[in-house]
Amino acid sequence: MTPAPPFTGRRRLHLAAALDQRSVYDAGEYLAAARLAERGALDFVTADDGLARPGPDALAVLSRVAPATRRIGLVPTVTTTHTEPFHVQAAVATLDWISRGRAGWRIEVSATEAEARLFGRRPAAPADALWREAGETADVAARLWDSWEDGAGTRDAATGRLVDRAKLHRVDFTGSAFSVRGPSVLPRPPQGHPVRLVDATARPARAVAARYADVVLVRTAHPAQAAEARAELRASAAAHGRNPDDLRVLAALDVDLGDGEYAAAPGHGGGGPRPTPRGPLYRGGPVDLAELITAWHREGTVDGFHLAPVEPRRDLERLVNGTVSLLQHRGLFRTFYPGSTLRDHLDLARPANQYAAVAQGAS
Amino acid sequence: MTGPKPGQPKPGHTTPGHPKPGHPTPRHTTPGRTRPMHLAAHLSAVDGTIVRTDTVRTDTVRTDPRSGSRSPSDFASFERLARTAERGLFDFLLLDEGLRLPEQRGRIRDPDVVGRPEPLTVLNALATVTDRLGLAATADATFHEPYELARRLATLDHLSGGRAAWHVRTSSDARTGENFRRGGHLDRADRYTRAAEFVAAARELWDSWTPDGTPRPFTHQGRHFDVAGEFTLPRCPQGHPVVVRAGDSEEGREFAASSADVLLSGRWAGGCPEAGRAFYADVKRRLAKYGRGPGDLKIMANAAVVLGDSAAEAHERAEEIRWQQVSPQTALLALERIWGVDLSGHDPDGPLPDIDPVPDPRLGPGRARHGDRVATAEKWRALARERGLSIRQTVFEAGARQSFVGTPESVAAELAESVARDAADGFVLVPHPAPGGLDEFVDRVVPLLQERGAFRTAYEGATLRAHLGLAEPVWKG
């Protein structure tokens, strides 16, 4: 084990970046961006998706990225609204296998009538109902990941069996919109449960975030609001019987680093990120962004940041080589990956298997 | 380092030098000019026995297949197989899809389950570690929806530079339905009409952007699907991903003739070239009805190959492999599938049960019918009586044999001859738990095929359609 770097007295800072690029269908751009983010030792990259969103399937993009990277976490958005929970959990588990424990899943819903028409199976539904279904999908996914106990794939030469049937479990889940019998079709993922991420900015998403998410995004330009959201999420997680320290709350900002080293209108001190119709936007230089991150983190506002470059090619490079390297220089952010899985990067333990516990209790 | 790989085509790229629709492929071999053979590797279930990925080895050292500590889902197993297939200049690698674990009489069948990662996710990763190999994903038309699947297949085609294929499966199992929203089972006729409409809808989505990159709305209204909107990706590098269909039934043949690019045939499980020729002629004949030429559908036969330094050694190995596949537990399970009762108390090395098969209410439509099971049971009993066989020996004798067993020279000759005589356009190899696996075929048989002029010596194009000699589908705007 490598000793943890000296993050003196403060919680560890977590940083993530969005890889999204409009109208890019070629793998090369995504590979280059992910490698750049990995050079900055970021916790993870995200690829956003939506059924009606122009661009390739996000989980596929990050699967393509996986063999070209070694340590960085890979978190695609996969909607739970018109998709099959069984397929979704299998794809996320497979991403965890092929990346050797670096997969995450950003849970989203698809609320528009246009998205409903793409499937033609049911009409659009209100956000509350969709998030209830998303919570059920998050729940059933974890059950399916657990439906093969660790070590279920024995190789028992004496009996010729390849799996130990006693370590496979039905999930027999019935929710408001679907049911799944189980077990899954592949072994428990390397991380036990791939990391689940929810953007909890919108109210209806918050209960799912508090109950099932490992990483929660909060979009706000105001540190006080971010701190408040974090406190509320932690309290709500505790109410669900979770340890609030198992939750990482990241502030999500769009970043436009086109203005040189320092912002013309300083990003920090000059009001910080600005609210815009598309969400909070930080516009300024990489150094000022480092100042802002340092300040928010010092005050315990959030556990880290998820940053979405406005101009992907330019801003990601400035983010990694400017902002991140300055944070590393100050000893605020890791310079290498001490662990190998996304859970390692996030300081999250590998979860216990809910069925293994039941089996032990019963015997 | 990080840019697109050399040789990857841009969207809209067409491959020169390949037959256009309606342009007949030469049907008979003339000296010095052989119809090119196509080869694929299938990592899959064969007769319910899932091939263990950990035994697909790159070395030739014999190890116990059960001693490996690596999980079957580990990417390294897939990467090794894909690299081997690409080294052998194979047309494509085919992965299966898992929708539920195999069960028998309500219990998970444990001897042959190793788990199946989601194929499209694995293939996108394999696109990163290969340059030319075609990447074929199995996806069931009953348990997917056209928009979602068409989008994921188009994504694979874009991210791999035109190497995607879709193996269209149709299942109708009520138990599989228990894992999915639509639930229940679909009867035989419905699953074929659903699959046909699914493929048609997917093609409409793939055609929805103009070749010059303008998105246009699509609408599809049919018996099974009513969808509309805008597709999120431009036209694929291959136009459409290659559509693969397996099946020897009447419906399967007609489906393939009407809308597939590749038909996988199980005809040759028993290694009878005459049956292969009749099948080949029948399927190719059906193409004209759909305005297609004989070269527009490639027929690839399943091939289990066992090699040896001598014919005797190859046959010995083939027997050994089959004995491994028919373990005492597998033999009892095979019997239970026919008898429909718990036979776990029987001795695999003892005689067959003297009771008759029991109708199993849990076997819904689409499963083996009771009458068939009674007939099979009678046949097996007769075989056991005649030759004094135990349960395990009977299952061994009644089971399918490998189709190509012999020295590399004889197998290469047989494969080339089969293509030359219009019994197939190529073969899908199922690597079995044997020393060498696919490597042995690539190292020992492929060079002999190349010497005979029967197989390519380099990839000539960048896309799977180019490997298969298939034209890009005409854009239907």
Model confidence at A159, in pLDDT bands (50, 70, 90)? low
Distance from CA of A55 to the nearest CA of B (A): 5
CATH 3.20.20.30 holds for B38-306+421-468: yes
Beta-bridged to residue B49, according to DSSP, are B46
B317: Cβ contacts below 8 Å, ≥ 6 apart? B306, B307, B308, B434
Which of B408, B400, B459, B410 is CA-nearest to residue B436?
B408
CB-based contact, B2 to chain A, within 8 Å: yes
Question: Which element (helix H / strand E) includes B107?
Answer: strand B107-108
pLDDT at B58 over 70: no
Q: Which residues of A touch B112 (CB under 8 A)?
A: 162
Q: Which residues of B touch A156 (CB under 8 A)?
A: 66
Average pLDDT, rounded, for chain A: 90
- pLDDT 10s digits, B225-276: 999 999 999 999 999 999 999 988 898 899 999 999 999 998 664 456 788 8
Bigger pLDDT: B30 vs A131: A131
**Alpha-carbon distance values, A265 to A93, A173, A274, A326 (Å):** 45, 54, 11, 20
pLDDT at A18 over 50: yes
- pLDDT 10s digits, A160-183: 566 788 889 999 999 999 999 999
Beta-bridged to residue B38, according to DSSP, are B426
What DSSP designation does B236 have?
B
Reported pTM: 0.90
Strand pairing category for A104-108 and A195-199: parallel
Mean pLDDT of the region B2-6: 41
Q: Which residues of B touch A35 (CB under 8 A)?
A: 2
Mean pLDDT of the region B117-144: 97
pLDDT for position B467: 98
Which of A151, A165, A152, A155 is CA-nearest to residue B68?
A155
pLDDT for position B182: 83
Distance from CA of B231 to the nearest CA of A (A): 7
Q: How far apart are CA B378 and CA B376, in angstroms?
A: 5
Q: How far apart are CA A111 and CA A52, in angstroms?
A: 11
> Across the interface, which of B117, B143, B158 has its CB nearest the CB of A186?
B117
**Could you count the other beta carbons within 10 Å of the beta carbon of residue A19?**
28
**Alpha-carbon distance values, A169 to A131, A147, A363, B245, B393 (Å):** 26, 5, 15, 33, 33
- pLDDT 10s digits, A128-140: 999 999 999 999 9
pLDDT at B434 over 70: no
- For residue A9, what are its two tokens? 């007295």
Question: Which element (helix H / strand E) includes B439?
Answer: helix B438-444
Q: Is B158 close to A153, i.e. CB distance below 8 A? A: no
Distance from CA of A208 to the nearest CA of B (A): 21
B189: Cβ contacts below 8 Å, ≥ 6 apart? none
Mean pLDDT of the region B455-469: 97
Q: How is chain A split into domains, by residue range?
A: 14-125+194-362
Chain B stretch 182-211, residues whose beta carbon is closer than 8 A to a beta carbon of chain A: 183
The alpha carbon of residue A191 and the mean position of all alpha carbons in its chain are separated, in whole angstroms, by: 13
pLDDT at B288 over 60: yes
Which residue is listed with tokens 């089959």?
Answer: B322
- pLDDT 10s digits, A229-249: 999 999 999 999 999 999 999
Distance from CA of B273 to the nearest CA of A (A): 34
Q: Which CATH number is correct for A14-125+194-362, 3.40.630.30, 3.20.20.30, 3.40.50.720, 3.40.50.11540?
A: 3.20.20.30
pLDDT for position B369: 61
Distance from CA of B227 to the nearest CA of A (A): 5
Q: How is chain B split into domains, by residue range?
A: 38-306+421-468, 327-398
Bigger pLDDT: B359 vs B189: B189
pLDDT at B68 over 70: no
Instruction: Give the phi and the psi of residue A146 in degrees, each rounded to 5.
Output: -85, -10
- pLDDT 10s digits, A198-209: 999 999 999 999
pLDDT for position B416: 94
pLDDT for position B456: 97
Beta-bridged to residue B50, according to DSSP, are B45
pLDDT for position A11: 81
Q: Is B117 close to A27, i.e. CB distance below 8 A? A: no
> Across the interface, which of A27, A60, A159 has its CB nearest the CB of B152?
A60
Which of A300, A338, A288 is CA-nearest to residue A13?
A300
Distance from CA of A344 to the nearest CA of B (A): 19
Strand pairing category for B103-104 and B107-108: antiparallel
A:B CB pairs within 8 Å: 210
Angle (CA) A160-A165-A168 rounded to 5° is 140
Using an 8 Å Cβ cutoff, are B130 and B101 in contact?
Answer: no
Bigger pLDDT: A258 vs A28: A28
Instruction: Give the phi and the psi of residue B128 in degrees, each rounded to 5.
Output: -75, -30
The alpha carbon of residue B85 and the mean position of all alpha carbons in its chain are separated, in whole angstroms, by: 15
Nearest CA in chain B to A63: B125
Which of B78, B87, B111 is CA-nearest to residue B337?
B111
pLDDT for position A7: 44
Distance from CA of A236 to the nearest CA of B (A): 31
Give the amino acid at B303.
Answer: A
Burial (Cβ within 10 Å: 0-12, 13-18, ≥19) of residue B305: buried
Nearest CA in chain B to A158: B66
Q: Is A185 close to B101, i.e. CB distance below 8 A? A: yes
Which of A97, A106, A331 is CA-nearest to residue A196?
A106
Mean pLDDT of the region B149-157: 98
Bigger pLDDT: B77 vs B459: B459
Q: Which of A185, A191, A317, A340 to mutate to test the interface with B (most CBs of B within 10 A)?
A: A185
Q: Is A35 close to B2, i.e. CB distance below 8 A? A: yes
Q: How far apart are CA A327 and CA A312, in angstroms?
A: 20
Q: Which residues of A touch B180 (CB under 8 A)?
A: 84, 86, 178, 180
Which of B135, B103, B133, B137 is CA-nearest to residue B117?
B137
A174: Cβ contacts below 8 Å, ≥ 6 apart? none
> Across the interface, which of B73, B111, B226 has its CB nearest the CB of A162?
B111
Model confidence at A341, in pLDDT bands (50, 70, 90)? very high
Beta-bridged to residue A179, according to DSSP, are A174
Distance from CA of B455 to the nearest CA of A (A): 30
- pLDDT 10s digits, A3-12: 444 444 458 9
Nearest CA in chain A to B107: A165
Nearest CA in chain A to B155: A56
pLDDT for position A5: 44
Mean pLDDT of the region B383-409: 89
Q: How far apart are CA B82 and CA B77, in angstroms?
A: 9
Strand pairing category for B217-221 and B226-230: antiparallel
Give the amino acid at B166.
Answer: W
Chain B stretch 98-157, residues whose beta carbon is closer than 8 A to a beta carbon of chain A: 98-101, 107-108, 110-118, 120-122, 124-125, 127-129, 143-145, 147-148, 151-152, 154-156
Model confidence at B342, in pLDDT bands (50, 70, 90)? confident
Instruction: Give the phi and the psi of residue A110 in degrees, each rounded to 5.
Output: -120, 105
pLDDT for position B57: 27
Which of B254, B212, B161, B205 is CA-nearest to residue B467?
B161
Q: How far apart are CA B414 and CA B432, in angstroms?
A: 20
Using an 8 Å Cβ cutoff, are A334 and A347 in contact?
Answer: no
**Could you count the other beta carbons within 10 Å of the beta carbon of residue A164?**
16
pLDDT at B60 over 50: no
pLDDT for position B55: 32
Looking at chain A, how many residues does it have?
A: 363
Model confidence at B186, in pLDDT bands (50, 70, 90)? confident
Average pLDDT, rounded, for chain B: 82
Bigger pLDDT: A155 vs A78: A78
Residue A73: helix, strand or coil by DSSP?
strand
- The share of chain A scoring above pLDDT 90, in percent, equals 79
Residue A142: helix, strand or coil by DSSP?
helix
Region of B96 (left: φ > 0; alpha: ψ -120 to 50; beta: rest) is: beta
- pLDDT 10s digits, A28-77: 999 999 999 999 999 999 999 998 888 999 999 999 999 999 999 999 99
Using an 8 Å Cβ cutoff, are B229 and A114 in contact?
Answer: yes
**Alpha-carbon distance values, B76 to A117, B70, B83, B114, B300 (Å):** 40, 9, 10, 15, 27
Q: How far apart are CA B241 and CA B218, in angstroms?
A: 18
- For residue A273, what are its two tokens? 């990120």
**Could you count the other beta carbons within 10 Å of the beta carbon of residue A264?**
11
Chain B stretch 394-423, residues whose beta carbon is closer than 8 A to a beta carbon of chain A: none
Q: How far apart are CA A146 and CA B108, in angstroms?
A: 16
Strand pairing category for A195-199 and A215-218: parallel
Q: Which residues of A touch B122 (CB under 8 A)?
A: 63, 94, 98
Q: Which residues of A touch B120 (CB under 8 A)?
A: 60, 91
Q: Which residues of B touch A63 (CB under 8 A)?
A: 121-122, 124-125
